[in-house]
Amino acid sequence: MLAKMLRHLRRRFIDGPRGFGHPVPAAAFDAEYRSGHWQLLDSPDEQARYAALAALIRAQHRRPRLLDAGCGSGRLATLFKPGELAAYHGVDLSPEAIRVAQESALPDAHFQQVDLETWRPTGPYDVIVANEVIGYFYDPAATLRGLARALAPGGVLVVSLYRWDNAPAIWRRLGGFFTTGQAITTTNGGGDKTWDIRILLPLTLGGAPRP
């Protein structure tokens, strides 16, 4: 009990303000997928965010090689028609999420169970999407920097983050390693949920955008 309380206090008063996230075990996600909890991603409340993500991806590249980092049940992949993407690679921590995704997405989509905090893709990818997942990374900036190494020249990260209590600190931390190419905000139908979606470009050591 004491250890659990200390972990909570560390997240709340040390890691949170520094822009770190809150990791969740794969088993917890598996249980939520089996219970049907994540079916909420198919609800009308989520449609505006997914539509905005798809529009940004299409605007960045005519036919991208896409890495969906934290793909969940593959909801994003279903928004693209066959042939619209040069390649789709969805990865997620949860084996149960990957099982669901394989049943419903594009026939040529490739799904893989990985731990994004340690896995490093080879790429190259024109677009890497991190959709509502960086809040689960202990160090969002380090994980995104690792993923960004697999970007093709001119490639971009598309990051969506729900406006919760730790979100401003995470964006500030990311600002030390990425520059924002475009930023939009989307809300659900009731107006009580807000997401920030940003196009991020990795910075070189000199502070200039990566070519």
Please name the residue ranges forming H helices in the chain: 2-10, 26-35, 44-60, 95-104, 140-148, 167-174
Q: Across all residues in the chain, what is the average pLDDT?
A: 87
Rg, C-alpha atoms of the chain:
17
Q: Residue 96: name the closest of 26, 43, 37, 25 by CA.
A: 26
pLDDT reading at 57 higher than 50: yes
CB-CB neighbours of 133 under 10 Å? 22
Highest mean pLDDT among 34-38, 168-172, 185-189: 168-172
Q: Which residue has the higher pLDDT, 48 or 173?
A: 173
Instruction: Please give the pLDDT value at position 208.
Output: 41
At residue 204 the predicted structure's pLDDT band, cuts being 50, 70 and 90, is low
Name the phi and psi angles at 157, rounded to 5. -100, 140
Give per-residue pLDDT as tens, 132-163: 999 999 999 999 999 999 999 999 999 999 99
Query: Helix (H, G, I), strand (E, B), or coil: what is residue 183?
Result: strand
Give the single-character DSSP code of 63.
S
By the 8 A CB rule, do 148 and 127 touch? no
Instruction: Please give the pLDDT value at position 4.
Output: 57
Question: CA 98, 168, 182 angle in degrees (round to 5)?
Answer: 75
Q: 2-202 has which CATH code?
A: 3.40.50.150
Q: Residue 125: name the closest of 110, 103, 140, 141 by CA.
A: 110
C-alpha to C-alpha distance for 97 and 121, rounded to whole angstroms? 19
At residue 12 the predicted structure's pLDDT band, cuts being 50, 70 and 90, is low
How far the first Cα of the chain sits from its last, in Å, is 50
Q: Residue 134: name the closest of 113, 156, 117, 114 by CA.
A: 117
Give per-residue pLDDT as tens, 181-201: 999 999 887 777 899 999 999
Q: Which residues contact 41 (CB under 8 A, 6 or more apart)?
A: 50, 72, 73, 75
pLDDT reading at 168 higher than 70: yes
C-alpha to C-alpha distance for 79 and 81, rounded to whole angstroms? 7
pLDDT reading at 206 higher than 70: no
